Amino acid sequence: MLIFQCPYCGIDADETELSPGGEAHLKRFGPGASDEDFESYLFMRENPKGVHFERWRHSNGCGKWFHAARCTMTLEVFGTYSAQTFEPPQEIKDKISQKRPGWSWRNFS
C-alpha cells in the first residue's frame, strides 16, 4: 500500500486514490517505424530490482498523470514529478545517486 505525493495537487495520496500506468518515459513509435522499434515501444519493459520509473494517475483525485521514481526492492520513493517531461528532473536523479550510487535505468543514470 504505497503513498505517492501527487505533484499537481500536493496530496500525499493513498494507493487507493491512484491508478498505476506502467513504465514511464516510453517513446511512441507510429506508422513508418521499424518492427523492432514498434515492438520495443509496445511490449519491451524494464523489470529492475531497484530503481524504477513509473506512471501513476491520481484518478480518485485531481485526475492528473504523474511520474514516480522508486525502488522496487524497498519501495523507497525518491520522488514524483510532472508527466510532461522526457526525463526525470536532475534533482530526483541526484537524490537517487545519493541513495543508490551507480544506478542506471535505460538511458538515465
Partner 1 sequence: MFDASTTYVSLEQDTSLGMITLRADLASDKLKKAINEIGLGDLPAQRQIVSSSELSLGWMSPDELMLFCASQNVADIVQTIADHLAGEHSLVVDVSDARAHFVLKGAHIREVIAKLAPVDLDPTQFDVGELRRTRFGQIAAAFWFSDQTTAHIICFRSVAAYMHEQLIRAAASGSEMGIWSEA
Partner 2 sequence: MSTRLSSGGLYIDRSARKSFTFNGKRFEGYEGDTLASALLANDQMLMGRSFKYHRPRGVVASGAEEPNALFNMGRGRHFEPNQRATTTELFEGLEVASQNHWPSLEFDVGAINTKLSRFLPAGFYYKMFIHPRPLWKHVYEPFIRKSAGLGKAPSEKDASTYEHFYAFYDLVIVGGGIAGLAAAKTAAQTGQRILLIEQSAQWGGRALIDGGEVAGQPVDNFVEETLTFLKSKSNVTLRTRAMAAGVYDHGYLLAYERVSDHLPEAKGPRHRLWRIRTKKIIAGTGAIERPLPFAQNDVPGVVLASAARDYLAGYGVSIGDRTVIVTNNDDAYLTAIAVKNAGLDVVAVLDSRANGAGDLGQKVRDMGIRVEQGKGIAMVKGSKRVTGVSICSQAGEGAVLEGLDCDCVAMSGGWSPVVHLWSHCGGKLIWDDRQQHFKPDVNNYPKDASGNPLVWVIGAANGVMTASGCVVDGERCLEGASDAGTAAQPETHEESGVNPIEAVWMMPQGAGYALRSKAWLDFQNDVKVSDVQLAAQEGFHSVEHTKRYTTLGMATDQGKLSNINGLATLAGALNLPIPQVGTTTFRPPYTPISMGSIAGLARNEAFQPIRQTPMHQWHEDQDAYMEPVGQWRRPYCYPRGSETHAQAVEREINQTRNSLGLLDASTLGKLLVKGPDAAKFLDMLYTNMMSSLKVGKCRYGLMCSENGFLMDDGVVARLDEETFLCHTTSGGADHIHAHMEEWLQTEWWDWKVYVANLTEHYAQVAVVGPNARKTLEKLGGIDVSKESLGFMEWSEGKLGGFDARAFRISFSGELSYEIAVPANQGLAFWNTLLEAGEEFGVMPYGTEALHVMRAEKGFIMIGDETDGTVIPQDLGLNWAISKKKSDYLGKRAQEREHMVDTERWQLVGLETMDGSVLPDGAYAVEAGTNANGQRNTQGRVTSTYYSPTLSKGIAMGLVKHGPERMGDVIEFPKVDGAIVKAKIVDPVFYDKEGVKQNV
**Side chain identity, residue 38:** F
* Residue with smaller CB distance to partner 1, 3 or 75: 3
Cell of 44: 519491451
User: Is residue 33 within 8 Å of 41, Cβ to Cβ?
Assistant: yes
Q: Please state, in angstroms and rounded to a whole number, the distance separating the CA atoms of residues 70 and 73.
A: 9
Q: Which does 28 bind (CB under 5 to 8 A by kind): partner 1, partner 2, none?
A: partner 2
Q: Please state, in angstroms and rounded to a whole number, the distance separating the CA atoms of residues 42 and 24.
A: 13
Is 2 a binding residue for partner 1 by CB under 8 A? The answer is no
Select the residue interacting with partner 1 from 2, 62, 77, 83 (CB under 8 A). Answer: 62
**Footprint on residues 15-34 left by partner 1 (CB under 8 A):** 16-17
Is 64 a binding residue for partner 1 by CB under 8 A? The answer is yes
**Residues in contact with partner 1, total (CB under 8 A)?**
13
Q: Which does 95 bind (CB under 5 to 8 A by kind): partner 1, partner 2, none?
A: none
Closest CA to 59 of 32, 30, 87, 21: 21
